[in-house]
Amino acid sequence: MKIDSITQYVALRSSLLNEKVALENRLAQINKALQGELSVAATPAKAVPAPKTKVAAAPQVKVANHRALPKIKNPMSLKAAVIKATNVKPLTKPEILTAIHKLGYRFATPTPLKSLDVVLYTKGDFKRANGRFSPGR
């Protein structure tokens, strides 16, 4: 078992050394090409530092029509509102949304059903039967 591990190590090391030499040769070719030399040598070359040049800073661009959504203070959490709305009887998602609005809950998002989905599909919080939701506990 140990001999197999050692043989495998030696083979992998040899493979890595061969790949290193090939990469160094390719890097030497690239460096020579960047220096303007046409001949390509097989020996590795020293890295050439990049020329120092001043780079102009990119202009700052302001993004228009990007404003924060207003912070809305709701009388209760979304989960509590859904529980209160579905305590009487199981409701569908649109019915729950209407009931939550009647309770005074307001959404800051333009897609309130997505926020409602997060609450409804959290494992163990609500039971679903025939597309209607009721509290799970």
- Domain of 121: which CATH number? 1.10.10
The residue segments making up the domain with residue 3 are: 1-49
- The answer to the question of residue 59 being in a domain is no
φ and ψ at residue 73, rounded to 5 degrees: -95, 110
- The answer to the question of residue 56 being in a domain is no
SS (H, E, C) 30-72: HHHHHHCCCCCCCCCCCCCCCCCCCCCCCCCCCCCCCCCCCCC
Q: How far is CA 33 from the centre of its chain?
A: 39
Q: Which residues lie below 8 Å from residue 66, measured CB to CB, with a gap of 6+?
A: none
86 contacts 134 by C-beta, under 8 angstroms: yes
**Residues 83, 129 within the same domain:** yes
pLDDT tens track for 37-75: 555 454 555 555 655 655 556 556 555 565 666 677 888
- The answer to the question of residue 121 being in a domain is yes
133 contacts 93 by C-beta, under 8 angstroms: yes
- The answer to the question of residue 61 being in a domain is no
Q: pTM of this prediction? A: 0.48
Structure tokens at 117: 């989905």
**Residues 88, 130 within the same domain:** yes
The pLDDT value recorded for residue 6 is 84
Number of domains in the chain: 2
The pLDDT value recorded for residue 12 is 85
- The answer to the question of residue 3 being in a domain is yes
- The answer to the question of residue 67 being in a domain is no
